[in-house]
Structure 1
């Protein structure tokens, strides 16, 4: 039986969004503990966050009902990161 490519795309989109979120979150945690390169790392974080947002948006377009709440949580968590960083500037 051949797998439905639509379901495969959903899973790949979700995994890309999850990976993008985890990259941004990991970088945020690094920045907080390393102030020496703060300015440079802040720009890198903004790029990662923007990329993660895009991946999440793409995944939401094809997401299953079970994936949607997790993707929306990723968006909220990214928004929290953005707000935390903006407070520190």
Structure 2
């Protein structure tokens, strides 16, 4: 039972981390004077989400793995969007 509980907790932490990163991305206002601070916060959220996802992938079920991999793709798209807007 502890194994399943840890697996579920890892998945939930990854899910929450990804959601927080997505929310931070949606909240960025590119023309804001606070943009640099917002971008730094987003970077921290994305990095934390990646770590949580990688931890959860170690014990994920097939269904969880599919969702976690989708989170990774979504986060990668955010990184690409942000990097494209700063060039």
Band the TM-score falls in, shorter-chain normalisation: over 0.9
TM-score (norm 2): 0.94
Moved over 3 A (4+): none
Match of 2:18 in 1: 21
Counterpart secondary structure, 1:36: coil
Separation (CA, whole Å) in 2 of partners of 1:34 and 1:61: 40
User: How many residue pairs end up in the alignment?
Assistant: 86
Separation (CA, whole Å) in 1 of partners of 2:29 and 2:80: 13
Gapped runs of 5+ residues in structure 2?
none
RMSD: 1.2
Where do residues 49-60 of structure 1 align in structure 2 (5 Å cutoff)?
A: 49-60=46-57
Gapped runs of 5+ residues in structure 1?
none
Is 1:80 the counterpart of 2:53? The answer is no
Separation (CA, whole Å) in 1 of partners of 2:69 and 2:60: 11
